[in-house]
Amino acid sequence: MNAISLNPILIAIVAFFAIALIVAVVVAVWLYQTNRRRKHLQSKFGPEYRRMARAEGDAAQAERRLRERERRVDKLDIKPLTETQRNEFADAWEHAQAEFVDDPTAAVAHADVLVQEVMSVRGYPVVDFNQRVEDVSVDHPAVVQNYRLAHDIAARNENGDVGMEKLREAMLHYRALFADLLHDGGLQPVRQVRPEERERVRRVA
């Protein structure tokens, strides 16, 4: 009689621990996958991950938005430049850089246009600045903040003179992103301005 009455209790205890074990396994798997995704995003986006986490005030929300960026860019047809395209853009950058000597404002505006042009050729949509920033951050996270800073200086300069030093900073920031886009994140920089190119631009001006 006692054995029979104990069976439901034993069954309930066994069921409880079985369910608890299953829940623990599910939670452990979820935590492992969450941690793995977080490490992937931290490694891939670097400073952009930290910036997003600070801006959102919530790491989970920041990670959700970064994953959305990844999914969006995965659907784009992003392609590297051909050698001819790369050389043409490098020449155009030399022209803009040489132009800075005589007309810094025009050079900064030219640099902004060149960045948009190289993004467009590579397959990035370039209609909206904020969208451009988000898209380019996926494959070029180390220099996307350079783009924000350069664009901010250029925008402020349209509403008033920000000074030569700030314009020089903008060119350097544009250059960092431009070089990364040219070489698909490689270490090869944009070519330095050749003296003859600087002189040629001065004569044309």
Q: DSSP states of 18-78 as a string?
A: HHHHHHHHHHHHHHHHHHHHHHHHHHHHTHHHHHHHHHHS-HHHHHHHHHHHHHHHHTS--
Q: Is the pLDDT of residue 196 over 80?
A: no
What pLDDT, on a 0 to 100 scale, did the predictor assign at position 98? 92
- Tell me the pLDDT tens digit for each residue of 69-117: 999 999 999 999 998 999 999 999 999 999 999 999 999 999 999 999 9
What pLDDT, on a 0 to 100 scale, did the predictor assign at position 28? 72
- Listed residue (37, 51, 57, 43) closest to 134, CA to CA: 51
- Tell me the pLDDT tens digit for each residue of 108-140: 999 999 999 999 999 999 989 999 999 999 999
Q: Is the pLDDT of residue 145 over 70?
A: yes
Q: Is the pLDDT of residue 195 over 50?
A: no
What pLDDT, on a 0 to 100 scale, did the predictor assign at position 31? 66
What pLDDT, on a 0 to 100 scale, did the predictor assign at position 186? 60
What pLDDT, on a 0 to 100 scale, did the predictor assign at position 43? 79
160 φψ region: left (φ > 0), alpha (ψ -120 to 50), beta (else): left
- Tell me the pLDDT tens digit for each residue of 24-83: 887 777 666 667 777 878 878 888 888 988 888 888 888 999 999 999 999 999 999 998
Show the tokens assigned to 186.
């490689």
What pLDDT, on a 0 to 100 scale, did the predictor assign at position 162? 87
- Listed residue (175, 179, 127, 130) closest to 150, CA to CA: 175
What pLDDT, on a 0 to 100 scale, did the predictor assign at position 189? 62
What pLDDT, on a 0 to 100 scale, did the predictor assign at position 202? 45
Sort 44 into a burial class: Cβ within 10 Å, 0-12 / 13-18 / 19+. Answer: middle
**pLDDT: which is higher, 48 or 4:** 48
